[in-house]
Amino acid sequence: MSSYGNYHNAYKKASVNTLDQNKLIIMLYDGAIKNSSFAVEHMKSGEIEKVHNCLIKAKNIVTELMATLNMEQGGDIAKNLQSLYSYMFSQLIEANMEKKIEPIIVVIDLLKELRAAWVQINKKNKTQTTEQQVPQAMPQQNQENAEKRIRVTG
């Protein structure tokens, strides 16, 4: 591998390691959606080996999503997500074994809905973080002193 390739791989690894949890989950959804969509396209064109490879990748990503669940802190939401991920996993296996498009479409729709929810969570978290970082208004006395200094120097 060229030194450029080594730097590129190091950069990719560093960028993934510095992403927050929500962005990583969104990236996993993106990967599962992309591979599932490719599987549909390959199925339509009769490229069975490519279908298989894409569905295996999608299934592995769903497995990773399942592994990220925190069942202790997540409560009912984590349990529901686990059920959805298990269902998607079985649908991807069925699609791969029977070479059916319909189960893949169901999975893609579920993944897109869940991804949209995570995007909203990510936006909400960013908004809350930004609001916490915005300095509070000056107390009245400090504001009056600042106004006096402006009048004296201005």
Which CATH number is associated with domain 3-153?
Answer: 1.20.120.340
With beta carbons less than 8 A apart as the criterion, state whether 89 and 59 touch.
Answer: yes
Domain limits, the chain: 3-153
Give the span between the Cα atoms of 53 and 68, in whole angstroms: 23
With beta carbons less than 8 A apart as the criterion, state whether 43 and 51 touch.
Answer: yes
Q: pLDDT confidence of 13, banded at 50, 70, 90?
A: low
Could you report the per-residue pLDDT of 42-92, keeping only the tens digit for each? Answer: 999 999 999 999 999 999 999 999 999 999 999 999 999 999 999 999 999
Give the span between the Cα atoms of 35 and 51, in whole angstroms: 9
Could you report the per-residue pLDDT of 96-116, keeping only the tens digit for each? Answer: 999 999 999 999 999 999 999
